[in-house]
Homo-oligomer: A and B are copies of this chain.
Amino acid sequence: MPSLNILIAQGGGPTAVINQSLAGVVFAAHHSGVIDRVVGARHGVRGILNEDLVDLSCETAVHLEAVARTPGSALGSTRDKPDLAYCKEMLKVLKAHEIGHFYYIGGNDSADTVRIVSEQARESAYSLRCIHIPKTIDNDLVGNDHTPGFPSAARFVVQAFVGANLDNASLPGVYVAVVMGRHAGFLTAASALARKFPDDGPHLIYVPERTFEPERFVADVRTVHERLGRCVVAVSEGVHDAAGVPIISKLAPAAERDPHGNVQLSGTGALADLLCAQIRDRLGIKRVRGETFGYLQRSFAGCVSDVDQREAFEVGERAVRFALSADRDGSVSIKRVGHYAVDYELAPLETVAAQTRVMEEHLIDAGGTDVTDAFRAYLQPLLGSGLPEADRLRAAAVPKRLKAR
């Protein structure tokens, strides 16, 4: 009889495929032959602290597959960022339940939590294998070609901009959509893959890797609007001025902050409305519409990249394999091989924890409001199969009979 117990939890913002990773761990554990019980913690590290645990070993495969296809964090999530004392309390619970492996699915904050728990376990001579499983729609984990959750969110952004461009072409004006991404512009940049014809939008893309200058923004919109009679803009929620102050903070200085001290950027339409007001007031354009894609980007049911789905499951499986075979803790990371395949490595936790990857320079166009071909080549294989394609009429003009006279 195997006697190894493992614990898994989900942290940070949910994604469309985070439950694939959960399922990947449970399946791999069952198939390992050496793991007795898979324990899930409700609402991330908070569930460990509160001993709010469930027994995932009794879930059927059929049911687990259905959960894997469901967006959101099936175990519940948390924004808690444990400090040393918190981690020590967690360790007591892990010990009490004789947990041998700790798996945490999350972003760079979650990786940092795994790092602290790993250190504390070692210091107290408690034998605990700690594995971080990557997840974030922001694609901002260092050492990863990309992170599970990002491809599906990117697909949502592409499908949204395909539609937004067509809507804007139907009823011309200026359209500004705010896309998630506090420090990294990957998701906003994904909007570029919505274009098919040369005059398709988004015509301007603003990522947080570049300083956002309101004056230049207005001038950029004017230029496009004068050329095409319309303009579609993608703006990252994290755009900031030269001093690094988020543009949204300038509008709402009392903006809400999360436990990590970050200003609340999502769950409000303020930034889009502010930018639209600028255009309306400064350019006198009548039809100006602003939108914030918000949580739909990470949770919309039925917009998933099949590549992402497969990889998210596999990082879960790989985590268990690494835990059983490697002699160290770490973070599962995705490496790209050729055009297009991936392989997985176990990176040291400190190389991922609390670090933030941003878009590499060669992915952003020199002008600062577009992406490069390198970015398009990077993203295309991640979007998955069956992307909807837009088309337009080719009908020739009918010669005028009245106005020509």
Contact = CB atoms under 8 A, between A and B. Distances in A.
Given A59-B394, A393-B74, A96 B401 contact: yes
Contacts of A403: 50-51
A82 interface: no
Contacts of A159: 300-303
A269 B292 contact: yes
Interface in A149-188: 159-160, 162-164, 166-167, 169-172, 175
Contacts of A39: 398
Interface string A259-301: 0000000111110110010000000001011111111101111
Interface residues of A, number: 86
A72 interface: yes
A54 interface: yes
Interface string A39-83: 110000000001111111011000100110111111111110000
A121 to B, nearest CB: 17
A153 to B, nearest CB: 11
A392 interface: yes
Contacts of A293: 296
A390 interface: yes
A1 interface: no
A376 interface: no
A391 B70 contact: yes
B388 A69 contact: yes
A84 interface: no
Contacts of A171: 13-14, 73, 76-79
A170 B72 contact: yes
Nearest to A78: B171
A93 interface: yes
Contacts of A286: 256
A301 B162 contact: yes
Contact of A97 (B160, B394, B401): B401
A159 to B, nearest CB: 5
Contacts of A289: 266-268, 294-295
Contacts of A163: 16, 71-72, 295-296, 299-301
A393 B291 contact: no
Interface in A370-405: 387-398, 400-403
A256 B273 CA distance: 13
A250 interface: no
A92 interface: yes
B296 A164 contact: yes
Given A58-B396, A301-B388, 4 more contacts: A14-B166, A14-B167, A53-B400, A63-B394
